[in-house]
Structure 1
Amino acid sequence: MGNIKQDTMPVIRDLRDFDRQSGNLLERLVFNYRPLFMLLMALVTVLLGYMALSRLELRPSFEKMIPQSQPYIQNYLDNRKSLRGLGNSVRVVVENTRGDIFDPGYLDVLKQVNDQLFITEGVDRAWMKSLWSPGVRWTEVTEEGFQGGPVMPGTYQGSPADIEQLRQNINRAGIVGSLVASDYRSSMLIVPLLDKTSATGQGINYQQFSRLLEEQLRDRIEYAGDSAARKSGEEGKGQYKVRVIGFAKLMGDLIDGLIQVMMFFALAVITSLVIIYLYTRCVRSTLLVVGCSLVAVVWQLGIVAWLGYAIDPYSVLVPFLIFAIGVSHAAQKMNGIMQDIARGTHKLIAARYTFRRLFIAGVTALLADAVGFAVLMLIDIPVIQDLAITASIGVAVLIFTSLLLMPVALSYIGVGRKAAERALKIETRADGHKGFGKLWDLLDRFTTRKWATGAVLVAVLMGIGGFAVSLHLQIGDLDSGAPELRADSRYNRDNAWITSHYALSSDLFAVMIKTAPEGCLNYRTLILADRLAWQLQQSPGVQATSSLVNAVRQITAGSYEGNPKLNSIQRNQDVLNYAAQQASVNSPELFNTDCSLMPVIAFLKDHKARTLDDVVAIADRFAKDNSTPDRQFLLAAGTAGIEAATNIVVREANRTMLLYVYAAVTLFCLITFRSWRATLVALLPLVLTSILCEALMVFMGIGVKVATLPVIALGVGIGVDYALYLLSVQLHYQRQGLSLGEAYRKAVSFTGRVVGLVGITLAAGVVCWVWSPIKFQADMGILLTFMFLWNMLGALILIPALSYFLLREPALRRHAGEDESATVCAREAANGKPSGMRHALTTSE
């Protein structure tokens, strides 16, 4: 350490001996006017804090979850006015646990539920279906022709005769398995939702809608005032049970879960406090590091609210990441100041020294972080684009809080003398091959041929194995129900119950057949629709299909006394017209008013990735083979159709996103190191981590979807910091003429603890998510924790090993014409434990 200490900035104990006009313009503006700067920061914090508290909303949106420029989604959006019930809807099931649906008491309860949902804001009342809906009708053929009417008798009074009439109507309507359970113990209400509420013109508030379902339905009917059971999440013990599924309910449950997630944020803060304190043993500097990081979160949320953005279940994770990144950068500033104070430098001067060494480095490191977020803007899913914007805002805020506010605040409070002396003592012990020095000795071995070869071989084998496993990575959901929630959540329990008691699922995949007006009754159109339905039924994932063809066949046969020979599509246009006229009364959702659009609906057994892929392949192939200018087969509508389109976008974006992330990181490394070999050394550990992360997703049964897609980009963008920290300082000393082993030892002794602290702090900030009630957040917590820790280990082990094969050349020495002041600046950067970027900006190969 003796020679290195000579490279440090001079120790100045008295402020009168320091030139206040030294340093760059930004340093002079910030430090020479510290009171004004701190006042300005305080005012901004108060203002943005008020913005965050008063304007920030948790507001998920159905439209933001779907890729609106994807062709399938465009087809749906262009025709959704003619496709009622095939978009955003909720399904409510009321069960009689002590009898069946033919119980006057049950029917009264069902009517209460029906009426409550009918008057709920945001419900598309015209297309709502239940036993009490007049649009749910029965039809039969008699000697006098067709007869029919609403399933619920218009004169219903609850008498035995009325109940018997209802029983007959249900059987004649053919709704057993769809609106009525196969065991007749429950019935379903299908509740389509509008895009915007009619009263306010705003999107539906899913949190309020979900709470209304809980308060007006479950609390009153299922729990009947049993608040203890309600809070515990158990099912009520009353006679009637209410089960609810659908996007709106899922979003409401996610928001309720996010409120619980706030305690995980508090746990992350406490964990960071403990880690930083164990590193520094200084209470005031530890509180300041965490405090500045919390200020960054306040700023980020305030700016997001000010710009009119809302927080949704996906972007709510961003504050966790911003806090963790902020802690890691603030810890670097504290580390540099602590070193200078330990040598006797005045705390204000120490803060200015650290600012000079690390500001440019920190800004560039944050730019590398920002790349991982910014690339997400390329994904055509609004919720991910919003996440990218909010995260980019957070990274920009860190420049002011972690890079400016932190050193200025430390210039006031400094660090404890004992903590500073302890840090210096640790360095001295490390130089004597004691304490951390033993770890540095172990890491130094990876610069030797034997250890480097072994490390590279192990990494290659892990990469090959991980790649083989990652080939099985699937796009989309791998579980039934709502994978965003735990398997034992109330929503997934409800979904499992409904799936087991109803023949037709809520996962609908619809192919739209678009023609000229009245064209859907063309014989050729109906024949092709029938063939499409038959091909879809051959997929194991399809339970049944429904379209105008089914109604036409039944009505045609009924018109001829139920003759089974005429249960077909007739060529006679008058017969087809009559059938459509009858179908429009009982099943108006089968085609639009001018008969220019009709859907072929497939009821899928689930929405797993493989099921959707099979159905899409069949429908897409049929559409390409049979679409003409007069008759187009358009994919896709329905909940499963929308999810299939989302999966397609995610599949395309997955590799494209990684390509752009690595291209941007490669460019940063080339600018930083001015060496393709050094760039390769920095990137290969990141590539290995990405491969192993995908293998981990396969092992854990996690598919690539909207929730998990950003993880790898974030991990790469943040993980490259480790390479910048270590490799830049290592190259600096190699260019001074030191051997690889000596250069790496100095680099790891300068930055090793900081790299370890950054990795552990980032991991600690997200590992708490594992216990989240929201499963996708728990999955992200596991994946990010793995990437942060593995990137850290990869940097400490693979960088020296790869350097042995790629960076031992004498050509690494500096150009003869390098400016001496730049050399001194690089030395100062190394001693200040920077991320390496300052050296890169002041030296060249």
Structure 2
Amino acid sequence: MIERIAHFCISRRKPVVSLLLVCTLILSWFALHIQVRTVFEDMLPSKHEYVKTHEKFKDTFGGSNMVTIMLEVDQGDIFRQPVLEKVRDLTQGMREVSAVNQFQITSLASKKLKEVHASTSGIESSPLMWPDVPATPEKMAELKSAVLRNPLVYGPYVSKDLQATLITVDFIDQKVDYATVFKEIDAQIKKVDDGSVKIRVVGDPILFGWVNHYLPETLHLVFYALGVTLAMLFVLLRTWRGVVLPLLAGLVSAIWALGICQILGIHFEPLVIVVAMLITSRAVSHSVQIVNRFDDELEAQPQLGDAELAGTAARVALADLFRPGMLGVIADAACMAVVAMSPIPMLQKLTVLSVVWVSTLTVSAVILTPVLLSYIRKPRGFAHPLNLQPVLRKVLDFAVGITLSRARYAVLGVSLLVIVGAGIYALNLRIGDANPGSPILWPHAKYNLDSKAINARFEGVDRLFVVIGDDDKPGVVKSNEVLQSMDRFQRFMEVQPEIGGSLSVADVIPQLNATLHEGNPHYQEMSNNAAINGSLMAMLESVSEPGDMDRFVDKQSANGSVTLMFRDRQGETIRTAVARIKEFIAANPLKEGHWQLAGGVVGVMAAINEIILSSQIEAIALALLVLAVLCTIVYRSTIAGMLFMVPVIISNMLTFAFMVWKGIGMNINTVPVAALGIGLGVDYAFYIADRVKEEIAIGSTPEHAVSQALHSAGMGVIVTASVLILSTLLWYVSSLRFQAEMGLLMAIWLAVSAMSALFVMPSLIYVFRPKFIFGAQGGEAKVPLPQVA
């Protein structure tokens, strides 16, 4: 069947090329119109309990796209007119930002922060600093005193040293566009920034805005990596076909994949450019293998003329490499498809993109490359005199020597130790972010420095809210049981060092109670009397304007929130907090109402981390199982499935161990790379094993078959691996830490996969002599052939 496919493609090359050209031109139009953006809702596992709570209450208690802006001074305090005018102007400017929730802008200059006054004439509340900045020293001193005696402002919105203040802004999730919000907030900051005040800003819209900001640099790195790839291919292969055809294979696969995804309505995430480069490297690798096999066939048939030689060599290359090439493509696609089991839409869409992209390699590399090779008129000859092939052959000679000597047992023994040692070390792999700040950016990036500075002065920039109440019981939040539970819960959770503070209506009532008693601090506490607490709640509502109580309770007082402020969003921090929340709920059952976990950015991340934690082992195991089944079907041998697991396990264990060593967590961004790496770890091994099988089939001795396979398919492995390793290492200069680390991760994956294919795989084959390669004779050659040096 494979021979017939090869014969058809070469003999009907004109209609084949014409069809592929027409399809490529049509899809290129769609590819040019694909959207490059990050959609927040795609990151949410909508069926998770926490996300349901978040979606239900985000408009009331705060969403996960909150932006925090800090204005700080180096000397003195913020209670100066020029400083507070900047706070006012910036607060008002936030109303002009796209997708902003007008009712979720809070600062000293907003109506949200108020002071409650009690006198013989009644109770009233007034904004601390609205609508104007205090114009006299006396008014400024009054504002300062009001802030100092208000625990809901002093600490949460004005730093304890009085040198900084916050503006918090929330957005409507369905409408937010990170690139637009980032630019508009930056423009508002520049309007007031004259250098006298330091302005720092954090939040997911800002974080992903930075990702979009560095998109031009990312595209430059893509072109630099492409240039390095082409230059090295030209030097190593010494032919123009060795440069142009792999480039064409990568370009065609990209056009087809992006065009098809645009038709399917799937956008392109900026962070998955790393995955795109990884898949493109597979196109280059498959194409180089075919070009290298074509060149081998040129030397094997010196009697043929140029006109006949190109077609014959192309047909042989296509026929011989069709099976390992297709198996490699299917394995990559199948392993990536496992990620679609995740309920996270972003990963599902990325899976479709990746599977489509990988599948296009069957056209761009496996078929198009040999068909175009058949058109070459003068296949013999080289484009430049520099010949590095002897150097590469020395490496291959060394691999042959290791395999055919007793050193092969040492290779297998060391491989076993590596699997065990790296596997044990890899058990420390963290789920979620493994370091403070954002792992997408470097520690010295402005965003991470701003985050560190804000967390040092305030309670924390990342928030999680827990809801207590009952939709069917309006007013239940006013009950003594619920209010007391809120208060105890806050004290319990604030023991965790990473939680800087908490906020709920239980913090407001003690303040109001003290105000009613002429500020006597003895009364700044929650009453044990339900009637008193209910009365205080009613008084609070009576002096509040619409929207003032939104961050504490809903309109019916059926549900209230306790908001926890986190100083970091590391996976361990979030897991500890969620475990403590569940511990408190279990130990403090309610007679009325119930607890609901968990909203805010930390609540959403907790849901994502739980899904990754619960599905990581299953996904990896399933991907390995899929790979084993594919190998078993293709080679009709269960031993084949087991044999090809070895290089995969080695590459994955070493890579996961490297992630532990470098502090790279398994999160929503790294999961796709890990899944694709499972297929990546076995591609090179397919070519080596299939070439050994091919040589045995024509009667070679096992020694000659191993030698021939390493000098032929091994040359393709060493060329593509060295080229792609160097090009992916270029990503380490990226301003995005995620891209830099994933580039390094890919380079390690490629290096380990190549080493496994050149040393471990031949040793396994030669020692165990599997029947699917050697047949029932166990490798006894019918016609012994001399070894090739």
Give the TM-score taking structure 1 as reference length: 0.84
CA distance in 2, matches of 1:26, 1:209: 54
Q: 1:636 to 1:159 in 2, by over 3 A?
A: same
Equivalent residue for 1:206?
Answer: 178
Change (3 A) 1:280 1:106: same
1:820 alignment counterpart: none
Q: Which one of 208, 219, 229 corresponds to residue 272 of structure 1? A: 229
**Structure 1 residue 377, shift from structure 2 partner:** 1.0
Q: 2:466 aligns with which of 497, 511, 528?
A: 511
**What CA distance in whole angstroms lies between the structure 2 residues aligned with 1:512 and 1:249?**
27
Helix, strand or coil for the counterpart of 2:223? helix
Q: Which amino acid aligns with 2:317?
A: T
How many percent of aligned residue pairs carry the same amino acid?
25
Label 1:283 to 1:777 Cα distance change in 2 as closer, same or farther (>3 A).
same
Quick one: which of 226, 237, 255 aligns to 2:212? 255
CA contact 2:632–2:639 (8 Å) conserved in 1? no
Is 1:221 the counterpart of 2:192 in the alignment?
A: yes
Contact map agreement 1:551 1:579 (CA 8 A) in 2: no
Cα distance in 1, alignment partners of residues 384 and 35 from structure 2: 47
Cross-structure match for 1:111: 88
Check if 1:46 corresponds to 2:9.
Answer: no
**How high is the TM-score relative to the length of structure 2?**
0.90
Q: Given that residues 597 and 603 in structure 2 are in contact (C-alpha distance below 8 angstroms), is that contact kept between their aligned partners in structure 1?
A: yes
Name 1:231's counterpart in structure 2.
none
The count of residues paired between Structure 1 and Structure 2 equals 768
Query: Contact 2:24–2:256 at 8 Å: present in 1 too?
Result: yes
**Partners of 2:324 and 2:686 within 8 A in 1:** no
Distance between the aligned counterparts of 1:756 and 1:88, measured in 2?
47
Q: What is the 5 A alignment of 1:319-398?
A: 319-342=276-299, 343=301, 344=304, 345-398=308-361
Q: Do structure 1's residue 170 and structure 2's residue 147 form an aligned pair?
A: yes
The question of whether the paired residues in 1 share the 8 Å contact of 2:688 and 2:762 is answered with: no
Alignment partners' CA distance in 2, 1:153 and 1:71: 39
**Could you tell me which residue of structure 2 aligns to residue 730 of structure 1?**
692
Residue 283 of structure 1: aligned partner? 240
Out of 277-286 and 90-99, give the one that drifted further. 90-99
Superposed displacement of residue 422, structure 1? 9.8
Aligned AA (1:173): N
Post-superposition shift, 1:89?
A: 0.9
Partner-residue secondary structure (3-state), 2:497: coil
Cα RMSD for the two superposed structures: 3.1
Q: Give the superposition deviation at 1:693.
A: 1.3
* Alpha carbons 2:469, 2:482 under 8 Å: kept: no
Tell me how far apart the structure 2 counterparts of residues 524 and 324 of structure 1 sit (CA, whole Å).
Answer: 61
**Which residue, out of 624, 641, 644, partners 1:679?**
641
Instruction: Give the secondary structure class of the aligned counterpart of 2:266.
Output: coil
Deviation at 1:101, TM superposition (A): 2.5
Match of 1:797 in 2: 759
Q: Which moved more, 1:88-97 or 1:728-737?
A: 728-737
Q: Give, in whole Å, the separation in 1 of the partners of 2:474 and 2:162.
A: 41
Distance (whole Å) between structure 2 residues aligned to residue 796 and residue 153 of structure 1: 73
**CA distance 1:631–1:307, shift in 2 (3 Å):** same
Aligned position for 1:778: 740
Is residue 2:655 matched to residue 1:693?
yes
Measured in 2, the distance between the counterparts of 1:39 and 1:808 equals 42
CA distance in 1, matches of 2:92, 2:5: 69
Runs of 4 or more consecutive aligned structure 1 residues displaced over 6 Å after TM superposition: 420-423, 808-811
Write the distance in 1 (CA, Å) between the matches of 2:772 and 2:22. Answer: 54
Q: Which residue of 1 aligns with 2:536?
A: 579
The runs of 5 or more residues in structure 1 that have no matched partner are: 1-21, 197-202, 225-237, 428-433, 817-822, 832-845
The change in CA–CA distance for 1:511 and 1:26 in structure 2 (over 3 A counts) is: same
Given the alignment, which residue of 626, 629, 637 partners 1:667? Answer: 629
**Aligned in 2, Cα 1:414/1:398: closer, same or farther, shift over 3 Å?**
farther
2:432 and 2:570 in contact (8 A); partners too: yes
Separation of aligned partners in 2, 1:542 and 1:594: 29
Moved more, 104-113 or 488-497: 104-113
Cα gap change, 1:278/1:473 in structure 2, threshold over 3 Å: closer, same or farther? same
Q: Measure, in 2, the Cα distance between the counterparts of 1:152 and 1:408.
A: 75
Does the aligned pair in 2 maintain the 1:512–1:636 contact within 8 Å?
yes
Match of 2:369 among 406, 412, 418: 406
Letter in 1 for 2:418: M
**Distance 1:169-1:205 versus aligned 2 partners, 3 A rule:** same
| Equivalent residue, structure 2, for 1:58 | 36
Matches within 5 A, 1:533-548: 533-548=490-505
Deviation at 1:651? 1.3
User: 2:652 touches 2:681 (CA, 8 Å); kept in 1?
Assistant: no
- Distance in 1 separating the partners of 2:18 and 2:591: 68
- Measured at CA, do residues 71 and 806 of structure 1 come closer, stay the same or move farther in structure 2, by a change above 3 Å? farther
Shift of 1:811: 10
For 1:265 and 1:414, locate their aligned partners in 2 and report how far apart those are by CA, in whole Å.
Answer: 33
| Structure 2: unaligned runs, 5 residues or longer | none
Query: After superposition, where does 1:615-764 map in structure 2 within 5 Å?
Result: 615-626=577-588, 630-733=592-695, 740-764=702-726
- Cα separation, 2, equivalents of 1:681 and 1:375: 21
AA paired with 1:78? K
- The alpha-carbon deviation at position 505 of structure 1 amounts to 0.8
Residue 636 of structure 1, CA deviation: 1.1
Please, which moves more after superposition, 168-177 or 776-785?
168-177
Task: Note the C-alpha offset of 1:407.
Answer: 2.5
Query: Distance in 2 between the 1:176 and 1:286 partners?
Result: 65
Instruction: Name the SS of the counterpart of 1:124 in structure 2.
Output: strand
